[in-house]
Amino acid sequence: MKKAFITGINGQDGSYLTEYLLDLGYEVHGIVRRNSTAENQSARLDKAFKSGRLHTHYGDLLDQGSIERLLEEIQPDEIYNIAAQSHVRVSFDVPQFTVQTNALGVLNILEAYRRTCPKAKFYQASSSEMFGLTVEDDGFQRETSIMNPVSPYGCSKVFGYNIVRHYRRAHKLHAVNGILFNHESPRRGSTFVTNKVVKAACSIKLGLQDKLELGNMDSYRDWGHSKDYVKAMHMILNHDTPDDFVVSTMETHSVREMCEVVFKYLDLDYKDYVVQNPKFLRPEELPYLKGDSTKIRKTLGWEPTYTFEEMMHEMCDHWLDVLQGKPSHR
């Protein structure tokens, strides 16, 4: 039985990846921080725990000793480093913590991996935010695009990406990067703009809220579904040759368009409820992201299965259930 080790296991991607690997017959180990209390975290793993093949351990990426001890003990076949301070807007408020977690944390787990289980395969969750203001002439960002980040989060992710590539070359490790564009789901934290919009719209529909305040509504993102993207993680990691791949839908939508899709699904007009508030603007805005995932589609055969509208509708159904006290198993 293959063993996987996942950091960030109780987040959106970590929980979906856990379920996916368990369905494939894996034994899964994950680290949790003792102070991890974000919404829905325990519920995200409830289904997975029933398998009897999920094991969680206390640890922290900033404590290399704890990671090294766990890897030495578990001897995983696959390591997925998904843990991060992943909120771009928050990274402007806590830049030091963001860099410590997203840059030094990657170095810590790479060193632990190199020392304890170098035969394992290592996946690093890299981000489209690394590209920043770079847009190719055809409107895309791809593996060869110059990285020009515009946030502490993006800068920290560039270090993580490059240190993985360095360890792959210098130490002959099977270490890879998945450069994932924005990906969402009902399990996304409600401070992220997709779930913030959906939760507020559903609350307005149910008479629990009267307006929604947003920052830049004309920023464009390439939004996919987390379920599709965790499958891509597994495919990238298990490719015969360690390499780096962009994962994206190759479509882009604005926040304004998202509001239109969500409110229309609820038979509402977003213009009646959405107002812009400057306090939600970033000190430096990233206006446009659209990923070219041709490489992973041609090399590994990966394709997204959710459309943008299907994903947003699923998130609406989830929040309508939750806000009315009904169980949601999405």
Task: Find the length of the chain.
Answer: 330
Instruction: Give CA–CA dist 212/202, Å, rounded.
Output: 11
- Selected catalytic residue, list 153, 161, 265, 306: 153
Q: Is 156 helix (H, G, I), strand (E, B) or coil?
A: helix
- Selected catalytic residue, list 27, 129, 226, 265: 129
CA atoms within 13 A on the CB side of 174: 15
Catalytic residue at 153?
A: yes
DSSP state letter for 280: G
- Selected catalytic residue, list 86, 91, 127, 226: 127
CA 53 to chain centre: 23
Q: Is 77 helix (H, G, I), strand (E, B) or coil?
A: coil
Catalytic residue at 127?
A: yes
Rg of the chain (C-alpha set):
19
**DSSP string of 102-137, one letter each residue:** IIIHHHHHHHHHHHH-TTSEEEEEEEGGGTBT---T
Q: Is 22 helix (H, G, I), strand (E, B) or coil?
A: helix
Q: Is the dihedral of CA 39, 40, 44, 45 positive or negative?
A: positive
Exposure of 286 by Cβ count < 10 A (0-12 exposed, 13-18 middle, 19+ buried)? Answer: buried
Catalytic residue at 129?
A: yes
Residue 304 backbone phi and psi in degrees, to 5: -70, 150
Beta pairing partners, 30: 6, 56
Q: Is the dihedral of CA 310, 313, 318, 321 positive or negative?
A: negative
Q: What residues are annotated to the active site?
A: 127, 129, 153
